[in-house]
Amino acid sequence: MSEYDPLRPRPPLTSEASDLETVQNLFGRASSGYLRSPWPWIGWALVLPAAALVTPRVAATAGPLAVLLLWSVAIVLGGAVEGLALRRGRRERPSSDLTRWVFRGQGNLSLIAVALTGALALQGLYQYLGAVWLLLIGHSFYAVGGLASRALRRGGLLYQVGGVVSLFSRFESLAVFAVTTAIANSVIALELWRARRSS
Protein backbone atom coordinates (compact mmCIF):
# COMPACT_ATOMS: atom_id res chain seq x y z
CA MET A 1 0.00 0.00 0.00
CA SER A 2 1.10 3.57 -0.69
CA GLU A 3 -0.53 6.98 -0.31
CA TYR A 4 -1.63 6.72 -3.95
CA ASP A 5 -3.59 3.50 -3.51
CA PRO A 6 -7.39 3.93 -3.15
CA LEU A 7 -8.83 3.49 0.33
CA ARG A 8 -11.35 1.00 -1.00
CA PRO A 9 -9.82 -0.84 -3.98
CA ARG A 10 -12.27 -1.86 -6.69
CA PRO A 11 -12.60 -5.58 -7.35
CA PRO A 12 -11.17 -6.80 -10.64
CA LEU A 13 -13.53 -6.76 -13.61
CA THR A 14 -14.94 -10.12 -14.60
CA SER A 15 -16.66 -11.40 -17.70
CA GLU A 16 -19.99 -11.52 -15.85
CA ALA A 17 -22.59 -8.77 -16.35
CA SER A 18 -22.07 -5.81 -14.05
CA ASP A 19 -24.71 -4.63 -11.61
CA LEU A 20 -25.29 -1.56 -13.84
CA GLU A 21 -25.94 -3.79 -16.86
CA THR A 22 -28.38 -5.83 -14.77
CA VAL A 23 -30.31 -2.69 -13.78
CA GLN A 24 -30.23 -1.37 -17.36
CA ASN A 25 -31.69 -4.63 -18.67
CA LEU A 26 -34.38 -4.71 -15.98
CA PHE A 27 -35.39 -1.09 -16.45
CA GLY A 28 -35.29 -1.36 -20.23
CA ARG A 29 -37.75 -4.27 -20.10
CA ALA A 30 -39.96 -2.65 -17.45
CA SER A 31 -40.29 0.73 -19.17
CA SER A 32 -41.50 -0.57 -22.52
CA GLY A 33 -44.31 1.94 -23.10
CA TYR A 34 -42.52 5.05 -21.93
CA LEU A 35 -39.18 4.49 -23.63
CA ARG A 36 -40.27 2.65 -26.75
CA SER A 37 -43.11 4.67 -28.23
CA PRO A 38 -42.21 7.87 -30.15
CA TRP A 39 -45.72 9.35 -29.78
CA PRO A 40 -45.36 10.94 -26.31
CA TRP A 41 -42.17 12.64 -27.45
CA ILE A 42 -43.82 13.96 -30.62
CA GLY A 43 -46.63 15.28 -28.42
CA TRP A 44 -44.19 17.13 -26.15
CA ALA A 45 -42.23 18.40 -29.20
CA LEU A 46 -45.43 20.15 -30.34
CA VAL A 47 -47.11 21.15 -27.07
CA LEU A 48 -44.20 22.66 -25.12
CA PRO A 49 -42.85 24.94 -27.89
CA ALA A 50 -46.37 26.12 -28.75
CA ALA A 51 -47.07 27.05 -25.13
CA ALA A 52 -43.71 28.83 -24.81
CA LEU A 53 -44.20 30.86 -27.99
CA VAL A 54 -47.70 32.12 -27.13
CA THR A 55 -46.89 32.85 -23.47
CA PRO A 56 -45.77 36.50 -24.00
CA ARG A 57 -48.95 37.35 -25.94
CA VAL A 58 -51.18 35.63 -23.37
CA ALA A 59 -49.36 37.39 -20.53
CA ALA A 60 -49.72 40.79 -22.20
CA THR A 61 -53.42 40.44 -23.00
CA ALA A 62 -54.82 38.34 -20.15
CA GLY A 63 -52.29 38.39 -17.30
CA PRO A 64 -50.50 35.81 -15.14
CA LEU A 65 -53.56 33.68 -14.33
CA ALA A 66 -54.13 33.09 -18.05
CA VAL A 67 -50.47 32.06 -18.40
CA LEU A 68 -50.93 29.58 -15.56
CA LEU A 69 -54.04 28.20 -17.27
CA LEU A 70 -52.20 27.98 -20.61
CA TRP A 71 -49.35 25.93 -19.15
CA SER A 72 -51.74 23.75 -17.13
CA VAL A 73 -53.66 22.87 -20.31
CA ALA A 74 -50.40 22.23 -22.18
CA ILE A 75 -49.15 19.85 -19.49
CA VAL A 76 -52.51 18.03 -19.38
CA LEU A 77 -52.49 17.59 -23.18
CA GLY A 78 -48.91 16.33 -23.32
CA GLY A 79 -49.47 14.17 -20.24
CA ALA A 80 -52.55 12.58 -21.81
CA VAL A 81 -50.53 11.38 -24.82
CA GLU A 82 -47.80 10.13 -22.48
CA GLY A 83 -50.35 8.43 -20.22
CA LEU A 84 -51.80 6.47 -23.15
CA ALA A 85 -48.34 5.17 -24.07
CA LEU A 86 -47.67 4.21 -20.46
CA ARG A 87 -51.02 2.41 -20.25
CA ARG A 88 -50.32 0.44 -23.42
CA GLY A 89 -46.86 -0.45 -22.10
CA ARG A 90 -48.34 -1.73 -18.84
CA ARG A 91 -50.58 -4.09 -20.79
CA GLU A 92 -47.45 -5.64 -22.29
CA ARG A 93 -45.51 -5.62 -19.01
CA PRO A 94 -46.79 -4.72 -15.55
CA SER A 95 -45.10 -1.94 -13.60
CA SER A 96 -42.12 -2.94 -11.47
CA ASP A 97 -40.53 -1.70 -8.25
CA LEU A 98 -37.62 -0.34 -10.29
CA THR A 99 -39.81 1.79 -12.58
CA ARG A 100 -41.79 3.07 -9.59
CA TRP A 101 -38.51 4.02 -7.88
CA VAL A 102 -37.31 5.89 -10.99
CA PHE A 103 -40.60 7.74 -11.42
CA ARG A 104 -40.62 8.72 -7.74
CA GLY A 105 -37.18 10.24 -8.29
CA GLN A 106 -38.49 12.15 -11.31
CA GLY A 107 -41.44 13.36 -9.26
CA ASN A 108 -39.09 14.62 -6.56
CA LEU A 109 -37.09 16.52 -9.18
CA SER A 110 -40.34 18.08 -10.43
CA LEU A 111 -41.10 19.32 -6.91
CA ILE A 112 -37.66 20.93 -6.79
CA ALA A 113 -38.37 22.62 -10.13
CA VAL A 114 -41.70 23.93 -8.82
CA ALA A 115 -39.99 25.31 -5.68
CA LEU A 116 -37.32 27.04 -7.80
CA THR A 117 -40.01 28.39 -10.13
CA GLY A 118 -41.87 29.88 -7.17
CA ALA A 119 -38.69 31.44 -5.76
CA LEU A 120 -37.77 33.01 -9.11
CA ALA A 121 -41.32 34.24 -9.74
CA LEU A 122 -41.53 35.90 -6.31
CA GLN A 123 -38.35 37.81 -7.12
CA GLY A 124 -39.50 38.71 -10.63
CA LEU A 125 -36.66 36.77 -12.27
CA TYR A 126 -38.82 35.28 -15.00
CA GLN A 127 -35.98 35.20 -17.53
CA TYR A 128 -34.39 32.28 -15.65
CA LEU A 129 -37.46 30.02 -15.56
CA GLY A 130 -36.69 28.43 -18.95
CA ALA A 131 -33.12 27.71 -17.88
CA VAL A 132 -34.22 26.08 -14.61
CA TRP A 133 -36.67 23.77 -16.32
CA LEU A 134 -34.36 22.91 -19.22
CA LEU A 135 -31.45 22.10 -16.90
CA LEU A 136 -33.53 20.01 -14.49
CA ILE A 137 -35.38 18.11 -17.22
CA GLY A 138 -32.08 17.63 -19.03
CA HIS A 139 -30.45 16.20 -15.92
CA SER A 140 -33.42 13.90 -15.37
CA PHE A 141 -33.40 12.60 -18.95
CA TYR A 142 -29.64 12.12 -18.92
CA ALA A 143 -29.73 10.15 -15.65
CA VAL A 144 -32.68 7.94 -16.64
CA GLY A 145 -31.24 7.54 -20.13
CA GLY A 146 -28.15 6.04 -18.54
CA LEU A 147 -30.38 3.26 -17.27
CA ALA A 148 -32.30 2.39 -20.39
CA SER A 149 -32.20 4.61 -23.45
CA ARG A 150 -29.48 6.30 -25.48
CA ALA A 151 -32.21 8.39 -27.12
CA LEU A 152 -33.25 9.80 -23.75
CA ARG A 153 -29.63 10.42 -22.81
CA ARG A 154 -29.02 12.42 -26.01
CA GLY A 155 -32.22 14.35 -25.48
CA GLY A 156 -31.09 15.14 -21.94
CA LEU A 157 -27.82 16.55 -23.23
CA LEU A 158 -29.71 18.76 -25.71
CA TYR A 159 -31.96 20.02 -22.90
CA GLN A 160 -28.92 20.89 -20.79
CA VAL A 161 -27.24 22.74 -23.66
CA GLY A 162 -30.44 24.73 -24.17
CA GLY A 163 -30.58 25.47 -20.45
CA VAL A 164 -27.05 26.87 -20.46
CA VAL A 165 -27.76 28.96 -23.58
CA SER A 166 -30.91 30.44 -22.02
CA LEU A 167 -28.89 31.71 -19.04
CA PHE A 168 -27.29 34.31 -21.30
CA SER A 169 -29.29 37.54 -21.44
CA ARG A 170 -28.78 38.04 -25.19
CA PHE A 171 -31.10 35.07 -25.87
CA GLU A 172 -34.84 35.19 -25.26
CA SER A 173 -35.46 32.50 -22.65
CA LEU A 174 -38.86 31.32 -23.93
CA ALA A 175 -37.60 31.16 -27.52
CA VAL A 176 -34.64 29.02 -26.43
CA PHE A 177 -37.04 26.83 -24.43
CA ALA A 178 -39.30 26.41 -27.49
CA VAL A 179 -36.44 25.54 -29.86
CA THR A 180 -34.77 23.20 -27.37
CA THR A 181 -37.90 21.24 -26.47
CA ALA A 182 -38.88 20.92 -30.14
CA ILE A 183 -35.46 19.62 -31.19
CA ALA A 184 -34.71 17.41 -28.16
CA ASN A 185 -38.10 15.68 -28.10
CA SER A 186 -38.05 15.23 -31.89
CA VAL A 187 -34.59 13.62 -31.65
CA ILE A 188 -35.84 11.24 -28.93
CA ALA A 189 -38.94 10.38 -30.98
CA LEU A 190 -36.90 9.77 -34.14
CA GLU A 191 -34.39 7.51 -32.38
CA LEU A 192 -37.16 5.51 -30.68
CA TRP A 193 -38.96 5.14 -34.02
CA ARG A 194 -35.76 3.90 -35.69
CA ALA A 195 -35.11 1.45 -32.86
CA ARG A 196 -38.67 0.19 -33.09
CA ARG A 197 -38.39 -0.37 -36.87
CA SER A 198 -35.06 -2.18 -36.56
CA SER A 199 -36.41 -4.53 -33.89
DSSP for 125-175 reads -GGGHHHHHHHHHHHHHHHHHHHH-HHHHHHHHHHHHHHHHHTSTTS-HHH
- pTM listed for this prediction: 0.80
Mean pLDDT confidence for 143-147: 81
Per-residue pLDDT for 97 more than 50?
yes
Q: What is the mean pLDDT of the chain?
A: 83
Q: What is the pLDDT of residues 47-72, one digit of tens each?
A: 999 999 999 999 899 988 898 899 99
Where in the chain are the domains? 25-88+96-198
Least trusted range by pLDDT, from 30-39, 76-85, 121-130, 176-185: 30-39
Share of the chain above pLDDT 70, in %: 80
CA distances to 33, 106, 117, 137, 152 from 187, rounded to whole Å, are 17, 21, 27, 15, 9
